[in-house]
A and B are shown apart, each in its own frame.
Chain A
Amino acid sequence: MRMLLSALAATTFLAGAAQAATVYPLDRATILAGSPFDFKVEFKSVVKPEDVKITVNGQDYKTVLGKEAEFVAEEKGKEDKILGSAVIARGLILPTEGAYKIEVTAGAESKSVTWDVYNTGETQKAKNIIFLLGDGLSVAHRTGARIMSKGMTEGKANGRLNMDDLDHMAFVGTSSTEAIATDSANTMSAYMTGHKTAVNALGVYGDRTPDTLDDPKVETIAEAIRRQTKKSIGIVSNAEVEDATPAAVVAHTRKRADKEQIVGMMFDVKPDVVLGGGSAYFLSKDIPGSKRKDDKDYIKLFQEAGYTLATDKSELQTATGTNTGKILGLFHTGNMDTALDREFLKKGTVEKFPNQPGLVDMTKAALGELSKNDEGFFLMVEGANIDKMSHPLDWDRALVETIEFDKAVGVAREFAASHPDTLVVVTGDHAHGVSIIGTVDDEKPGTEMREKVGTYAEAGFPNYTDENKDGYPDKIDVTRRLFLSANNGPDHYETFRPKLDGPFVPAIQNEKKEYIANEAYKDVPGAVFVQGNIPKSGDSGVHSVDDVVLQAAGPGAEDFKGYMEESDIYRVLADTLALGVKQTN
Chain B
Amino acid sequence: MIRLDPYTTRRTVLSLIAGLPLLAMTRPAAAAVPSLSFDELYSKFGVLGLEFSEKVKSLAGQEITIKGFMAPPLKAEAAFFVLTEIPMSICPFCSSDADWPDNIVVVYLGEKQTFVQPSQTIEARGTLEFGSWTDPETGFVSLLRLRNAEYASV
Q: Is the CB of A183 within 8 A of B50?
A: no
Minimal beta-carbon separation of A136 from chain B (angstroms): 11
Q: Would you call B88 and A509 a contact (CB within 8 A)?
A: yes
B87 A520 Cβ-Cβ under 8 A: yes
* Supplied contacts A290-B141, A353-B47, A510-B72, 19 more A-B pairs, CB within 8 Å: A244-B93, A256-B93, A257-B96, A280-B102, A283-B48, A283-B49, A286-B132, A287-B49, A311-B46, A311-B48, A332-B47, A352-B45, A391-B91, A392-B89, A505-B87, A508-B89, A509-B88, A510-B117, A539-B92
Q: State whether A299 touches B91 (Cβ < 8 A).
A: no
A-B pairs with beta carbons under 8 Å apart, 18 shown: A183-B93, A280-B102, A281-B98, A283-B48, A286-B131, A287-B132, A288-B51, A290-B49, A290-B132, A291-B99, A293-B134, A331-B47, A506-B89, A508-B87, A509-B118, A513-B72, A518-B87, A539-B92
Q: What 6 pairs across the A-B complex have the smallest Cβ distances?
A: A352-B45, A289-B50, A257-B96, A311-B47, A288-B50, A511-B115
Q: Which residue of A lies closest to B69 (CB)?
A: A508
Chain B residue with Cβ nearest A509: B72
A 386-415 to B, binary, CB cutoff 8 A, 1 in contact else 0: 001001100000000000000000000000
Q: Are A279 and B47 in contact (CB under 8 A)?
A: yes
| Contact across chains for B143 and A288 when beta carbons are under 8 A apart | yes
- B125 CB to nearest chain A CB (Å): 21
Interface string of A252-279 (1 = CB under 8 A from B): 0000110110000000000000000001
A279 to B73, CA, bound (A): 26
User: Which residues of the other chain, A, contact B132 by a CB distance below 8 angstroms?
Assistant: 285-288, 290
Question: Does B38 count as interface, using CB distance less than 8 angstroms?
Answer: no
Interface residues of A in 289-346 (CB under 8 A from B): 289-291, 293, 299, 311-312, 330-334
Question: Smallest distance from the beta carbon of B68 to chain A beta carbons, Å?
Answer: 13
| A477 in the interface (beta carbon within 8 A) | no
Task: Give the distance in Å from the alpha carbon of A508 to the alpha carbon of B88 in the complex.
Answer: 6
Q: Is A439 part of the binding interface, using a Cβ–Cβ cutoff of 8 Å? A: no
Task: Say yes or no: is B8 at the interface (Cβ < 8 Å to chain A).
Answer: no
Q: Which residues of A contact B117 (CB under 8 A)?
A: 510-511
- Whole-angstrom CA separation of A333 from B46 in the bound complex: 7
Question: Once the chains bind, are A288 and B52 in contact (CB under 8 Å)?
Answer: yes
Chain A residues with CB under 8 A of B93:
183-185, 200, 244, 256
Give per-residue flags for B81-101: 1 if the beta carbon is below 8 A from chain A beta carbons, else 0.
000001111111111101100
In the complex, what distance in Å separates the CA atom of A507 from the CA atom of B72? Answer: 13
- Write out the residue numbers on chain A whose beta carbons fall within 8 Å of the beta carbon of B141: 285, 290-291, 293
* Nearest CB on A from B83, distance (A): 15
A259 in contact with B98 (CB, 8 Å): yes
- B13-35 Cβ-contact flags toward A at 8 Å (1 or 0): 00000000000000000000000
- On A, residues with C-beta under 8 Å from B are 183-185, 200, 244, 256-257, 259-260, 279-281, 283, 285-291, 293, 299, 311-312, 330-334, 352-353, 388, 391-392, 505-511, 513, 515, 518-520, 538-540, 542
**B62 in contact (CB, < 8 A):** no
A254 → chain B closest CB, angstroms: 13
Say whether, besides A288-B143, A505-B89, A508-B87, A518 and B119 are in contact (CB < 8 Å): yes
B139 within 8 A of A: yes
Which B residues form the contact surface with A (CB < 8 A)? Answer: 42, 45-52, 71-73, 86-96, 98-99, 102, 115-119, 131-132, 134, 139, 141, 143
Q: Which residues of B contact A279 (CB under 8 A)?
A: 47-48
Given contacts A283-B48, A286-B132, A293-B141, contact A509 B92 (CB under 8 A): no
Q: Collect the chain B residues with CB atoms within 8 Å of residue A388's CB.
A: 91
A290 partner residues in chain B, CB cutoff 8 A = 49, 132, 141
B72 lies within 8 A of A539 (CB): no
A283 to B102 Cα, complex, angstroms: 13
CA distance A511 to B120 in the complex (A): 12
Provide the residues of chain A in CB contact with B86, threshold 8 Å: 505
Give the distance in Å from the alpha carbon of A388 to the alpha carbon of B99 in the complex. 14
A244 to B14, CA, bound (A): 48
Q: Which residues of A contact B73 (CB under 8 A)?
A: 511
For B50, the chain A residues whose CB sits under 8 A away are 288-289, 333
Give A513's nearest chain B residue, CB to CB.
Answer: B72
Q: B148 CB to closest chain A CB, in angstroms?
A: 22
- Neighbouring A residues of B92 by C-beta, 8 Å: 391, 538-540, 542
- Closest residue to B131 on the A side, CB-wise? A286
Q: How far is the CA of A285 from the CA of B134 in the complex (A)?
A: 10
A249 and B27 CA atoms in complex are apart in Å by 56
Query: Bound state CA distance, A256 and B92, in angstroms?
Result: 12
Q: How far is the CB of A515 from chain B (nearest CB, A)?
A: 8
The smallest C-beta distance from A573 to any residue of chain B, in angstroms, reads 25
- Cβ of A510 and Cβ of B118 under 8 Å apart? yes
A508-B119, A518-B119, A520-B87 known; A293-B49 Cβ under 8 A: no
Find chain B residues with CB under 8 A from A391 CB.
91-92
A244 surroundings in chain B (CB, below 8 A):
93
What are the residues of chain B within 8 A of A299 when measuring CB–CB?
48
CB distance from A348 to the nearest CB of B (A): 12
Which residues of A have CB within 8 Å of B46? Answer: 289, 311
Q: Which residues of B contact A510 (CB under 8 A)?
A: 72, 117-118
Contact pick for B47, options A288, A333, A515, CB 8 Å: A333
What residues on B are CB-neighbors of A293 within 8 Å? 134, 139, 141
Q: Whole-angstrom distance from the CB of A315 to the nearest CB of chain B?
A: 9
